Amino acid sequence: MGDVILSVKDLNLKFDLRGRVLHAIRGVSLDLYKGESLAIVGESGSGKSVFTKCFMGLNDLNGHIDSGEILYDGKDLAKITQEKDWLPIRGGEIAMVMQDPMTSLNPLKTIGAQIEEAILLHQKIDRHGAHAQMLSVLKDVGIDEPERRARQYPHEFSGGMRQRVVIAIAVACRPKILICDEPTTALDVTIQAQILSLIKELRDRLGLTCVYITHDLGVVANVADRIAVMYAGDIVEIGLCEEIFYDPRHPYTWALLSSLPQLGVRGQPLFSIKGTPPNLYTEIRGDAFAPRNPYALEIDFVERPPYFDVSPTHKARTWLLDPRAPKIDPPVNIRAIRAKGSANP
């Protein structure tokens, strides 16, 4: 594994909502390596989006980092309070691709102007230079006839093409880290595959470090080197892509995998996770997933499990990995992925 480009240490993020405090991120530590693709997977409300927004200072004003640090390039991003200190980082060093290409572009400006705006803001370059760079970026993301397309407005583009434009804006300033927040959820399956391979290609060509945020484990098998599974503001399991798919250890990862329709058997009900995610207004005791976990042990309700190492790259926060815990096998359909994987290496 390469050098650490961004390091998060015991991050706690809290939101003040009308006098009540919502503890959105509960002590997350994470190292992001240079050049890798990390996927953060979780249900809605698990905190995967707000977590990455911390890297860019994009959270709403009622959110504040309670404790912890985010180390990037010798600076602690968690300490930044002035909006102007964020500006060189946001877009220049760390860029983001939002979920819905229909709403993330300005409908009143041409595509070209929107990309040039980003270039002019972050680089010491004149208009002509920015224009040339804009055209080359459009070509980079696979848009034909960039000269003509640059003069068009977002409504003249299809959903997949708009997402390409959003990606062009994000990579125009050659950021080091690209955060893709559900980049394909609003898109068709065929377009989704194209966009994912585009991001992958750009990562290799421009040497980006990618962070994908998604709720769909099926999508990330293709693109991620490592996967972090997030639940209730905490990373419950993290490991290499193969380790998460072929050898998942946390019951929540099992549940997420089992509920994929790809693994369902026709005529039988598809596995679904019972209950609802925990209320983050109240302090969570023990393992946050315990109330919904059919494999929960008594200790899960009392004490928060620490990380247990499965391999040097794979760790999970569940008491099931404690040597004293009873031996529990993952559900059948998950063992099936493993069998399939080992059959054709």
Partner 1 sequence: MNEKLLQVKNISVDFGSGRKKVRAVNDVSFDIYRGETFGLVGESGSGKTTIGRAIIRIHPVSAGEIFFEDQRISGKITSQQDKELTRKIQMIFQDPMASLNERAKVDYIVSEGIWSDRSISPARRREMVAEALDEVGLLPEFASRFPHEFSGGQRQRIGIARALIMKPEFIIADEPISALDVSIRAQVLNLMSELQKKRGLTYLFISHDLSVMRFICDRIAVIHKGKLVELCETEKLFRHPLHPYTRALLSAVPQPDPDSEKNKVLTTYDPSMHDYSSDLPVWAELEDGHFVYGNQKELDSYREMLRY
**Class of residue 10 by CB neighbours under 10 A (exposed 0-12, middle 13-18, buried 19+):** exposed
Which segments within 279-322 are labelled E, that is strand? 308-311, 314-316
CA 212 to chain CA centroid, Å, is: 4
57 neighbors 229 (Cβ within 8 angstroms): no
Q: Print the binding letters for residues 166-205 with partner 1: x by CB under 8 A, - otherwise.
A: ----------------------xxxxxxx--x--------
Backbone dihedral angles phi then psi of residue 42, each to the nearest 5 degrees = 180, 170
Residue 326 found at the interface with partner 1 (CB under 8 A): no
- Number of residues in contact with partner 1, rule: CB under 8 A? 44
Residue 294 found at the interface with partner 1 (CB under 8 A): no
208 neighbors 202 (Cβ within 8 angstroms): yes
**Class of residue 12 by CB neighbours under 10 A (exposed 0-12, middle 13-18, buried 19+):** middle
Sheet with 63-72, edge to edge strand ranges: 20-33, 4-17, 63-72, 75-76
Residue 242 found at the interface with partner 1 (CB under 8 A): yes
User: 84 CB contacts (<8 Å, ≥6 apart)?
Assistant: none
Report how far apart, in Å, the C-alpha atoms of 281 and of each of 24, 34, 203, 277 are: 9, 35, 38, 12
Among residues 7 and 185, whose Cβ is nearest to partner 1?
185
Structure tokens at 120: 């002019």
Report how far apart, in Å, the C-alpha atoms of 2 and of each of 36, 252, 253 are: 8, 29, 26
Structure tokens at 256: 């997420």
Residue 304 found at the interface with partner 1 (CB under 8 A): no
Q: Which of 264, 291, 299, 307 binds partner 1 (CB under 8 A)?
A: 264
Among residues 13 and 219, whose Cβ is nearest to partner 1?
219
Stretch that binds partner 1, among 12-20, 167-175, 272-280, 318-326 (CB under 8 A): 272-280
CB of 238 to partner 1, least distance (A): 15
141 neighbors 165 (Cβ within 8 angstroms): yes
Structure tokens at 319: 């008491």
Q: Which of 64, 79, 127, 340 binds partner 1 (CB under 8 A)?
A: 340
Residue 231 found at the interface with partner 1 (CB under 8 A): no
Q: Which of 81, 103, 276, 311 binds partner 1 (CB under 8 A)?
A: 276
Q: Which of 35, 129, 159, 278 binds partner 1 (CB under 8 A)?
A: 159
Which residues 82-141 are close enough to bind partner 1 by CB under 8 A? none
Three-state DSSP class for residue 165: helix
Residue 271 found at the interface with partner 1 (CB under 8 A): yes
Residue 313 found at the interface with partner 1 (CB under 8 A): no
Residue 275 found at the interface with partner 1 (CB under 8 A): no
The rounded radius of gyration (Å) of the Cα atoms in the chain is 21
Among residues 52 and 184, whose Cβ is nearest to partner 1?
184
Among residues 77 and 257, whose Cβ is nearest to partner 1?
257
Residue 74 found at the interface with partner 1 (CB under 8 A): no
Residue 43 found at the interface with partner 1 (CB under 8 A): yes
List residues near partner 1 by CB under 8 A: 43-44, 158-159, 188-194, 197, 215-219, 221-222, 241-242, 245-246, 255-257, 259-264, 266, 269-273, 276, 337, 340-341, 344-345
